[in-house]
Structure 1
Amino acid sequence: MQVPVASLPKISFEFFPPKTPAGVGKLHATSATLAAWQPEFFSVTFGAGGSTQAGTRDTVFALQAAGYEAAPHLSCIGSSAEQLRIILDAYKTQGIRRLVALRGDLPSGYGGKSAGQFRYANELVSFIRAETGDWFNIEVAAYPEMHPQAPSPDDDVANFVRKANAGANAAITQVFYNTDAYFRFVDEVRKAGSDIPIVPGILPITNYAQLIRFTETCGAEVPRWMQRKLASFHDDTASLCAFGTDVVTEICDRLIAGGAPGLHFYTMNQSAPTLAILNALRPDITHGSLVAVAA
């Protein structure tokens, strides 16, 4: 299915902070290319336990200086209220108006050590609202296939609603490849009393081994038929990427048709895999110098 121009929802892109001058240059080129699609914002991640927060800040400020709306990820793990207050003040002073507020992952070696003054994302969202009022548009995380540490699906939905009610404006989901899981999660959240937009997180498929490692870590499921097909390509990267583009484009088709309010692409600081999907969804759009990428 080719999605009509008017029906493509808002899109956004996620980056991680580059660690080398070459990485900085690559991200500059990637963001410029993806900006042609007029995203609502670019988000920038951090490492486990809030590490690379300085890199997150620097990357966000660079994107903002280039004329883009940028949203830093903010973690409460390993942070005190005073540390978070300083970070929030820096972002507010710089004119940043959007945040992605997350509990964050515990870094290896924490064990039983204190994870910081705040334990959960709802506490972080409440703190941000108390400190800054309505200055920030706050995004939180959602887990259509359940957070790996949630005791049950019902507990997971309740935890999400708690974050939303603390003052979140919208949510971005963890990666998933089962659209039924997304729509069921949205239905359950609505029944539980939250109506904030829940934007699907989309991860292009470019490497089978990396995909399996990533999804196992975050608790997402890759359907068995898809795993078998991807594994069958072996070293044929071109065929694997073409198949991945077809599969993820079809997922996006279903999400858009079902009323998803947007698409948030996990780019891994690359433009080509995401562009392949976008061009498959809207092949009529070239955005000037942006040529269609074969799917």
Structure 2
Amino acid sequence: MAFHHAQHSHSLNQSLSELNGDINVSFEFFPPSTPEMEQILWNSIRRLEPLNPKFVSVTYGANSGVRDRTHGVIERIQQETNLVAAPHLTLVDASDEELLELAKHYWKSGIRDIVALRGDLPAGSPKPTRFAVDLVRLLRSVADFDISVAAYPEVHPDAANAQADLINLKRKIDAGASRAITQFFFDVESYLRFRDRCVAAGIDVEIVPGILPVTNFTQLKRFAGMTNVSLPSWLHKQFDGLENDAGTRQLVGANVAIDMVKVLSREGVKDFHFYTLNRAELTYAICHTLGVRPKAV
């Protein structure tokens, strides 16, 4: 048996050490609604800043109060950190004129990166007449922004079918988007199949996997139900019995995310986008394990 282990020792050790930091990361935050949440957000931003992400994005709500908070976070990131700030921008609840003004304001204030989304429709809304592709075109008409758009390995809940969803993504890329960031997922095969279909459809930009480190499985089930994301049976088993054990949930969640990134990295993925939920601990630990470390001074 010792001989058998010796034969495999190289591959075993290699699998533990193969991720040596040659990957790119980006992080998503959301605007805080209370002073306590603001403190948590800024602690997280400060903790993750030394990892030198490609950019950090800040989500955007459909009502003006949340929009203002988004702008406030973006401006403070720009003024107080070395991070590249990428605001989310949506069509919901804003006219083309308002969006043009906002895009011009962002460009003048030094913002070069934007995440362009249609946005979630308020309950009872009529069918949308404007889509993310229209927002990409609008942004391109203002300036040469670096634009990220959303992709859905398990199909957008509003899409007629997977092919229609893929055609819509190609339109967004053809209109001038630089990359697609996926909805979070846990079925790695679904991402890899989706990436193959993107290549076959002539989509030639990076399809960046969105990674959601899980600490609260009950909350995750609610998120997944709203976004058409399947939760594999193995994931249910991982969190089974941990409802009242937050510490172990953290370890399990980190382990799941690290395993996913290792598999995806072996498949040639170089860029990863982390949905931090404004908490740094798990994302920092995952990045550290993957070899993404602060630069030595």
TM-score, normalised relative to structure 2: 0.89
Residues 116 and 135, structure 2, Cα contact 8 Å, conserved in 1: yes
Q: CA deviation at 1:8?
A: 3.2
Distance 1:3 1:144, change over 3 A: farther
Aligned equivalent of 1:127 = 138
Q: CA deviation at 1:51?
A: 6.2
Aligned-partner Cα distance in 2 for 1:201–1:49: 25
Q: CA deviation at 1:279?
A: 2.4
Distance 1:181 1:51, change over 3 A: farther
2:66 is the alignment partner of 1:52:
yes
1:8 corresponds to which letter in structure 2? Answer: D
Pick aligned residue for 2:51 from 37, 43, 57? 37
Aligned-partner Cα distance in 2 for 1:276–1:227: 22
Aligned equivalent of 2:30 = 16
What stretches of structure 1 of length at least 5 have no aligned partner?
290-295
Aligned-partner Cα distance in 1 for 2:209–2:132: 19
Pick aligned residue for 2:86 from 59, 62, 71? 71
TM-score, normalised relative to structure 1: 0.90
Note the aligned Cα RMSD (angstroms). 2.0
Q: CA deviation at 1:41?
A: 0.8
Residues 62 and 93, structure 2, Cα contact 8 Å, conserved in 1: no
Alignment coverage as a number of residue pairs:
282
1:125-274 alignment runs, 5 A limit: 125-132=136-143, 134=144, 136-274=145-283
Q: For 2:16, what is the secondary structure of its paired residue?
A: coil
2:134 corresponds to which letter in structure 1? Answer: E
Q: CA deviation at 1:146?
A: 0.8
Aligned-partner Cα distance in 1 for 2:140–2:97: 15
Q: CA deviation at 1:288?
A: 6.6
Distance 1:229 1:26, change over 3 A: closer
Aligned-partner Cα distance in 2 for 1:280–1:257: 15
2:114 is the alignment partner of 1:99:
yes
Q: Identity percentage over the alignment?
A: 37
Aligned equivalent of 1:61 = 75
Q: CA deviation at 1:267?
A: 0.5
Q: CA deviation at 1:249?
A: 0.6
1:126 corresponds to which letter in structure 2? Answer: R
Q: For 1:265, what is the secondary structure of its paired residue?
A: strand
Aligned-partner Cα distance in 2 for 1:260–1:161: 20
Q: For 2:265, what is the secondary structure of its paired residue?
A: helix
What stretches of structure 2 of length at least 5 have no aligned partner?
1-14
Q: CA deviation at 1:217?
A: 1.0
Distance 1:34 1:141, change over 3 A: same
